[in-house]
Amino acid sequence: MTDSPPTPASKTALADRPADLGPEAPALLAIGQAARELGVSVRSLRYYEEMGLLTPTGRTTGGNRLYAPDDLARVRRIRELQHLLGFNLDEVRAILEHDDHLTRVRHDWADAHDDDRARLLDEAREADVNLRAQVEVKIRSLVMFRDEINARIARNDLLREGLHG
Amino acid sequence: MTDSPPTPASKTALADRPADLGPEAPALLAIGQAARELGVSVRSLRYYEEMGLLTPTGRTTGGNRLYAPDDLARVRRIRELQHLLGFNLDEVRAILEHDDHLTRVRHDWADAHDDDRARLLDEAREADVNLRAQVEVKIRSLVMFRDEINARIARNDLLREGLHG
DNA sequence: TTGCTCCTCACGTCACGTGAGGTGGC
DNA sequence: TTGCTCCTCACGTCACGTGAGGTGGC
């Protein structure tokens, strides 16, 4: 998109945010920069692409991947679903595809009929409620686990009170 | 332990809780029963053993593994550390070895000096506080994630109110 | 004897890690 | 030219999954 530049001065546009395009020009990052910013490995970014979860917004003429802010947000979402919730990449892809479907339809929201809109909203709501339920199960497990640890600490402190050192 | 039985009547003791040993006789489970009770795969139990995380209390003369209640509790702890907190099995083993160290020392608590006891308690407390910190980071991430989902649901509901269907 | 469960190899898989060997712009 | 980062294979690894082939007690 922001690739194939009419300004032949920069073919790669690696980290350049050209002033002549105005302040709203998107900052495209090379894979190493993106990985550092996200705290993930370069290999992971390439693997997500290989698995069809993420296509970087652009490529340089040399073939280097270029990541837009939206791409970074997508990676953060992938990581949340993977590591916070324990989904595998097939499940993550399914959720992302559902998200993508929603944004596509939201795009021609103005042209849609009210019943189509209602169906869309209900569908999105159900997915969110499902996801929330899974998150809450995880939270409850973790809170129980923390409470057990706190109980152990309290028992420890009681024993410790009995000693003078 | 409860293997090598003086009663030659049952060599395998697979699921027998013999009434002649009293009600406090431990119920030893075969690997399949243990796996079902725990909700894990048989392969996982064997793998934990292979990795030195868990040694089943007994074996039948035929070589079948026998799991005591303590073994099941250990597996539950392994799973918590693995999937709730995201530790790999090397890290889980380290934590378990620390736990084991504590229980061993607690065993000759009566023979120990007060300064040894104090050191032990302080050590255990520090490990627990560390673990609790990691749990709380996870909880905070999940609560933030849940709040985002709730915000999305609320936005959805607002839009939905505007429609009549 | 027939099921059922158990055993030990041992290869497959998922989500990457880690070089191997080569290219491209300051 | 020298670093640095990027590229594409491609093999290694961790935590198992999944048969393959065989044993053992109702």
What is the tens place of the pLDDT at every residue in B9-34? 333 333 444 444 445 567 899 999 99
Task: Write out the H or E segment, with its range, that includes residue A79.
Answer: helix A69-79
CB B135 within 8 A of CB A145: yes
**Is A125 close to B149, i.e. CB distance below 8 A?**
no
Measured CA to CA, the distance from residue B54 to residue B97 in angstroms comes to 11
Of B84, B139, B152, the CB nearest to A128: B152
Nucleotides of chain C within 7 Å of a protein C-beta? 5-8, 10, 14-18, 23-26
pTM for the whole thing? 0.85
Angle between helices B89-107 and B69-79 (to 10 degrees): 140
pLDDT the model gives residue B163:
86
Nearest Cα residue to A124 out of A152, A105, A139: A105
**Ranges in chain A, pLDDT < 50:** 1-22
Pairing of strands B58-59, A65-66: unpaired
Measured CA to CA, the distance from residue A63 to residue B158 in angstroms comes to 45
Measured CA to CA, the distance from residue B64 to residue B56 in angstroms comes to 10
Measured CA to CA, the distance from residue B137 to residue B133 in angstroms comes to 6
Average pLDDT over residues B25-54: 95
CB B78 within 8 A of CB B41: no
Q: What mean pLDDT value characterizes chain B?
A: 87
**Nearest residue of chain B to residue A121 (CA atoms):** B156
**For residue A49, which phi and psi values (nearest 5 degrees)?**
-65, -45
Q: Is the dihedral of CA B102, B106, B111, B113 positive or negative?
A: positive
pLDDT the model gives residue B8:
35
**Interface test mutation site (partner A, options B144, B149, B153, B155, max chain A beta carbons within 10 A):** B149
Question: Is residue B83 predicted with pLDDT exceeding 80?
Answer: yes
Instruction: Kindly report the length of chain A.
Output: 165
Measured CA to CA, the distance from residue A107 to residue A94 in angstroms comes to 20
Helix (H, G, I), strand (E, B) or coil at B41: coil
pLDDT the model gives residue B52:
97
Question: Is residue B155 predicted with pLDDT exceeding 60?
Answer: yes
Helix (H, G, I), strand (E, B) or coil at A65: strand
pLDDT the model gives residue B25:
63
Question: Is residue B150 predicted with pLDDT exceeding 80?
Answer: yes
Most confident residue range from A101-110, B89-98, B156-165: B89-98
What letters, b where the CB count within 10 A reaches 16 and e where it falls short, cover B93-131?
bebbeeeeeeeebeeeeeeeeeeebbebbeebbebbeeb
Angle between helices A31-38 and A42-50 (to 10 degrees): 110
pLDDT the model gives residue A163:
86
Which residues does B contribute to its contact with A (CB < 8 Å)? 80, 83-84, 86, 114-115, 117-118, 121-122, 124-125, 128-129, 131-132, 135-136, 138-139, 141-143, 145-146, 149-150, 152-153, 156-157, 159-160, 163-165
pLDDT the model gives residue B10:
36
Which residues, in sequence order, are CB contacts of A27 under 8 Å at separation 6+?
Answer: A15, A17, A68, A69
Residue with tokens 């539950």: B76
Please tell me what DSSP assigns to residue B82: I
**For residue B21, which phi and psi values (nearest 5 degrees)?**
-100, 5
